[in-house]
Chains A and B, each alone.
Chain A
Amino acid sequence: KQEVTQIPAALSVPEGENLVLNCSFTDSAIYNLQWFRQDPGKGLTSLLLIQSSQREQTSGRLNASLDKSSGRSTLYIAASQPGDSATYLCAVSGGGANSKLTFGKGITLSVRP
């Protein structure tokens, strides 16, 4: 059974800092990996999707990397801003008929002005 782990559960940083959020998964036979953002009491917003054959994806100040063989992904946020404060969830898909996402518990990020 696939398990996704995100540590630490919470992180507080000063504005302007570059930061890395970590995600690990137990079964390397994934189809793709997605990073989501969730604001309190809201739904999920997709940030980046990485195919299993890719190493990284970039969108603006965000960069996500994937090392399938070691079961790890990182989300890099450059020049963090208070508006980046949210919970960041990592999820993996098995693909095909098993396209459901298996999520980690998320990392709650607070960016202090």
Chain B
Amino acid sequence: EAEVAQSPRYKITEKSQAVAFWCDPISGHATLYWYRQILGQGPELLVQFQDESVVDDSQLPKDRFSAERLKGVDSTLKIQPAELGDSAMYLCASSLEGGLLLDTQYFGPGTRLTVL
């Protein structure tokens, strides 16, 4: 069964350092989402891509976060510089084509970030 791949699974960094996360969606899925989940909370959307274009990045802290999906397939989320409050689980999800009535979002295993 096809799955969303993410790496690394765990990342420990010091504040002010740069970190990057990678996501490979299910093959053929045009829509890719990055969510952030703080412990004890539900995930919140950071950025949504349709193919290589950003559809929604209204909740992305653009002064330190950036995201790209250059060829409309895999994606990278970067934080520079990392702050203590960025410690969270970063989840990537994909769907066949966002906006369809029956469009299930499939989630990867996540990257657990700890900022010291």
Contacts and interface: CB of A to CB of B under 8 A. Distances in A.
* Chains A and B bind each other: yes
Contacts of A100: 33, 45, 48, 56
B110 interface: yes
Interface residues of A, number: 28
B87 to A, nearest CB: 14
A38 B44 CA distance: 15
B72 interface: no
Contacts of A49: 102, 104
Interface residues of B, number: 31
Interface in B23-46: 31, 33, 35, 40-45
A79 interface: no
A103 B42 contact: yes
Most-contacted residue by chain B among A41, A45, A52 (CB, 10 A) = A41
Interface string A1-35: 00010000000000000000000000000011010
Interface stretch (A58-66, A67-75, A90-98): A90-98
Contact of A101 (B4, B55, B105, B108): B105
Contacts of B105: 34, 46, 101
Interface of B: 4, 6, 31, 33, 35, 40-45, 48, 55-56, 89, 91, 93, 95, 98-99, 101-110, 112
